[in-house]
Structure 1
Amino acid sequence: MSQVRKVSPMSLMSSPVLALSVGQLRRRPAAFAGLAAALLLATATVTLFGSLVAAQVTAPRAVTRAPVAGPGVLVIAGAFGEIAVLVALFVVVNALGFTLRQQHRDLALLRTVAATPRQVRRVVRAQVVATVLLAAVPGCAAGLLAARAFLTALQRRGMAAPGLHIPGTPVPMLVALGVALLVGLAAAAASAWRVTRPAPAVALAEGTAEGTGAATGGSRVAAVLRPVAGVAVLAGGVLLLRLAATRPPGELDKAGQAALLGSMVLLVALALLGPLAARALAALLGAPVRALVPRAGWLADANLRGYAARLSSAVVPVALLVGLSGTMLIMTSTAERVARATGAATSVTKASDIWLRQAELGLLVCFAAVSTVNTLVALTADRRREFALLRLVGSTRRQLLRMLSMEAALTTAIGVLLGAAVAAASSGAFSWAVRGSVVPVVPGAGCAWVVLGAALLTVPGIVGTGVWASGGSAVASVSGERG
């Protein structure tokens, strides 16, 4: 019997590693394009707020001591940049995890032809480094331009000294590059562990375990560790909300920061517990859909509940968009109501700082929108073989699109409900601290726009990609490789 030649570690050190990495980049452009967009926004955000810090630190003492309206550039960069950078990194980790999950079978196949775990990890690291480097230059350039525009806007409102300017130092851009590489490599190591830890045959079986219901040793371990980690993170989020709720009424700003940070932690917990929460809501919402649209509704409900991980990947970005946007809108409305009642203005209710929060909200919505579109497009495009099989057993394209429309509606509803739960918990804690009631002031029009925006991102993303993915020859799609 002929033996498979062992691939030496040195043979994959340079050109073979690059060839395999570039091959994956070419075969899965949708997944890697989404990761590149997330990395671009992340490097731009770190560069933006890092440049503001550099402008303040490198300015002459006479400029830094000039009186300004508001907390100052350093406080703005720290307080607002903290949340924005956390969201940016969350989006990057989510995009990278999804990109690598799509390659699970391909990476496992490498191991079956005698590639070592170390070699597979090198391939994954090379992909991440290549994507980071591709996104770094435009991301840093965009962040630098945004920093100059943001500083000008602050100076126009008297919130920054007129003599401040963005310095030419490359330090903020190098920090942004370093952060993107560090986060990317750490997330890649965690994702590659699932492929490289078990035996090659076991890793290959795990690539289709979700669809068949099979459970291997590695997937069972992950199935146990993920909920445990999710519960631990959820407990941390609850503690942050308790801290926000117990702040004295005079510390409205600190209560707001704790509540916003708590919403971020809850969203991380949601990402970990997503398959469980999404499957439960899908079971609840699927019943009326099956009754109203028997055929397409039944198939859509079965797809969503049968592929819990895929559903979780789809609804988490929607929940991120709704949760963060809703939290900030409701908290601001609640603070404004309290300020009108008491006559005491704070940094949450002053006009200049409301503008700051609106700018931050716009940035966060950008991240959530990019994450939502990228994830949904890549998820739907990866189902081309599934659509082809349905066509071969007699489904028409019209029936497929009807099924996808039902799936899109259910995905939107589940994501909105999960995001609304996070927003309700966070803004409720804030409301208890500032007005003694867990019922906050909800801006109906603003929240309606958030829900509409989530629907406009989700439904066309799924249905439009489905139209493209279900085209062409069904036989060719089935006989070709998946994705």
Structure 2
Amino acid sequence: MFGLAIRSLRRRASAFTASFLAMFLGSAIIMAFASMLDTAAASGATGAAEETLTTMATVVGGWGLLLVVFAVTSMLTLSVRQRAAETALLKSVGATPGQLARMIVGEAAGLAGAAALLGIVPAMLIGRGLLGLLHDTGQVPAEIGYHFGPVALSMGTGVTLVSAVAAALISARRATRVRVAESMTAAATDRGRLGRKRIVFAVLFLSLAVAEAITTVTVMDGKGSDAMATSGQADIFAGIALSLLAPAIVRRVTRLLARPLRALGGTAGDLAISTMRHRTGALASAVTPIILFVGIAVGTVFLQAAENAATDAAGLTKTADQKSIETLNFVVTGMVVLFTAIMLVNTLIAATAHRRREFGQTRLAGATPRQVLGAVAVESAVLTVTGVICGTVAAVFTVVPFGLARRDSLVPDGNLPTYLAVVALAAVLTGVTAHGATRRAIRVPAVEAALR
């Protein structure tokens, strides 16, 4: 079955591209930040320089690690879900659950190994850029040179392989437990029901977000910028929790908007609502990167704005530590914006390309290409609004507690144009990507697409 997995990767490369990109970018990010530990050890850094390098690796790298693992898991889950019909066919000709599980895990391991190896060079370039940023801001002496060593390699390859195999095992277990007839039904409709484990993990991450928020307001009140240590990661936990609950959220939003969209959108609105009801799981996967993008970007930028406002109000000049924290925050924001933006584009392209047959059947039933594009535009608008609202809620877990602890104020210190810029970027990425992927999908003749 491992040989079959390798042949499957070779012959269906395009179908695995999205998962591969998530692993490739994830391993590069993990190795880049972990290389700060190699740099500190090899260069003999001490004092403030060692602390800065260690903080960059553990704090920022830790946040990145959490995002990467979640992204890889989401993409692999989507990939396995899209292959429900293939899995059912293999089961119908005699493949056992163990054989299918080994095939799925073998595919994930093969992708992860290749992605980690190819991610080494980009990781070195990113790591050098990070160290250069620390040199330019005076947080690390210029004589400390860059080193890429065993810590970066072991963390990058280890985390990528472990997260990919673990996600594959979970997805494989779910795919192989159901009967053949149930698998065929799942392939035709994907309503994205919430499993017990998904709900448990959602509650766990939401509890962590609430705990961080409460700790910020109580224990960290009056502790100055130290409150960032607890408030800074609350939006990540909240964003992951809401992403895990995305299928239920999308389903609820669909019910609420069904009548207005059908009345205002005509045929396109009707097609969009029908799709959102029957493809909830796949569409919820597209909401996930929007939630993370908006939640973490808004939370981090507004958190830093509150810190700057507190410093200015006290009439103080930023210390070296404060500059270090500000640099970390903007590095986090840049990393999150880039990674989640790529994840968003990646997920939308993968999800839309898989709908080529659906688009062909819809056109054979009488829908015009313009109506198909209109339906996708309506879906994109609904997904964007849903993701922005959920992401804003996630950001609140960081912004409000930090504002109370640092400034005794419930009013965010960030400005409206910054928030609108984040929302606009999320909307543009979603709309342009979905429109472009759909146009490519409907270029195939309807009959040919419906038979694929």
Which category describes the TM-score, using the shorter chain as reference length?
Answer: over 0.9
In 1: Cα distance, 2:411 partner to 2:318 partner: 21
2:3 maps to a residue whose letter is: S
Q: Which residue is 1:64 aligned to? A: 46
Aligned residue identity for 2:4:
P
Q: Is structure 2 residue 3 aligned with structure 1 residue 15?
A: yes
Alpha-carbon distance in structure 2 between the residues aligned to 1:136 and 1:394: 46
Read off the aligned partner of 1:323 and give its amino acid letter. G
Cα 1:405–1:17, aligned 2, differ >3 Å: closer, same or farther? Answer: closer
The one-letter amino acid of 1:414's match is: T
Question: Is this contact kept in 2: 1:253–1:347, CA < 8 A?
Answer: no
- Whether 2:387 is the aligned partner of 1:415: answer yes
More deviation, 194-203/179-188: 194-203
1:33 paired residue number: 17
Deviations 1:389-411 (A, max 9, x none): 22112211112112221111111
Q: Is the 8 A contact 2:22 2:71 kept in 1?
A: yes
- The residue identity in structure 2 corresponding to 1:455 is A
**2:345: which partner in 1?**
373
2:101 corresponds to which residue? 121
Greater shift in the superposed pair: 107-116 or 229-238: 229-238
Deviation at 1:459, TM superposition (A): 0.2
Q: Does the CA contact (< 8 Å) of 2:376 and 2:434 recur in 1?
A: yes
Paired-residue identity, %: 29
| Selected match of 1:133 from 96, 99, 113 | 113
Spell out the pairing of 1:319-358 with structure 2 (5 A cutoff): 319-344=291-316, 350-351=322-323, 353-358=325-330
- Aligned-partner SS, 2:414: coil
Q: CA-to-partner distance for each residue in 1:359-388, whole Å, 9 max, x for gaps?
A: 221111111011100111111111111111
Instruction: Tell me if 1:362 matches 2:334.
Output: yes
Matches within 5 A, 1:40-59: 40-59=24-43
Give yes or no for the alignment of 1:260 onto 2:258.
no
Equivalence for 2:207: 235
Distance 1:411 1:129, change over 3 A: same
Per the alignment, residue 245 of structure 2 pairs with 273
* 1:72 counterpart SS class: helix
Cα 1:32–1:388 shift into 2, 3 Å: same
1:253 touches 1:346 (CA, 8 Å); kept in 2?
A: no
* 1:287/1:425 CA distance change after superposition, 3 Å: farther
RMSD: 2.4
Partner of 2:438: 466
Rounded to whole Å, the distance in 1 between the matches of 2:171 and 2:441 is: 27
Return the index of the structure with the highest Cα Rg.
1
From 169, 184, 196, the counterpart of 2:176: 196
Contact 2:307–2:406 (CA<8 Å) still a contact in 1? yes
Listed one character per residue, the Cα deviations across residues 411-440 of structure 1 (whole Å, up to 9, x for unaligned) are 111111111111123211221222223332
> In the alignment, which residue of structure 1 is the partner of 2:69?
89
Aligned 8 A contact 1:381 1:465 in 2: yes
The one-letter code sitting in structure 1 at the alignment partner of 2:42 is T
Given that 1:338 and 1:435 are in contact with CA atoms closer than 8 Å, whether structure 2 keeps it comes out as: yes
Question: Using the alignment, how far apart are the partners of 2:370 and 2:186 within structure 1?
Answer: 33
Deviates more, 1:202-211 or 1:318-327: 202-211
Which residue identity is paired with 1:34? A
Q: Are the equivalent residues in 2 in contact too, given 1:112–1:201 (CA < 8 A)?
A: no
In 2, the alpha carbon distance for the partners of 1:346 and 1:245 equals: 23
Secondary structure of the structure 1 residue equivalent to 2:247: helix
Q: Structure 1's 134 and 339: CA in aligned 2 closer, same or farther, altered over 3 A?
A: same
SS at 2:144 equivalent: coil
Query: C-alpha separation between the residues in 1 aligned to 2:43 and 2:89?
Result: 56
Post-superposition offset of 1:327: 0.4
Deviation for aligned residue 1:283: 3.2
Alpha-carbon distance in structure 2 between the residues aligned to 1:283 and 1:59? 59
Measure, in 2, the Cα distance between the counterparts of 1:288 and 1:452.
Answer: 23
Is 1:382 aligned to 2:354, yes or no? yes
User: How many Å separate the matches in 2 of 1:260 and 1:248?
Assistant: 12
Shift of 1:191: 0.5
Query: How far 1:138 moved relative to its partner?
Result: 2.6
Is the 2:400–2:412 contact (alpha carbons within 8 Å) kept by the matching residues of 1?
yes
Distance 2:287 2:316 in 1: 39
Q: 2:52·2:324 contact (CA, 8 Å) conserved in 1? A: no
Distance 1:374 1:285, change over 3 A: same
Deviations 1:11-44 (A, max 9, x none): x3x5334324434x33xx1x42121111111111
Bigger shift: residues 326-335 or 400-409: 400-409
Query: Are positions 1:405 and 2:377 aligned together?
Result: yes
Q: Partner residue of 1:102?
A: 82
1:172 aligns with 2:156: no
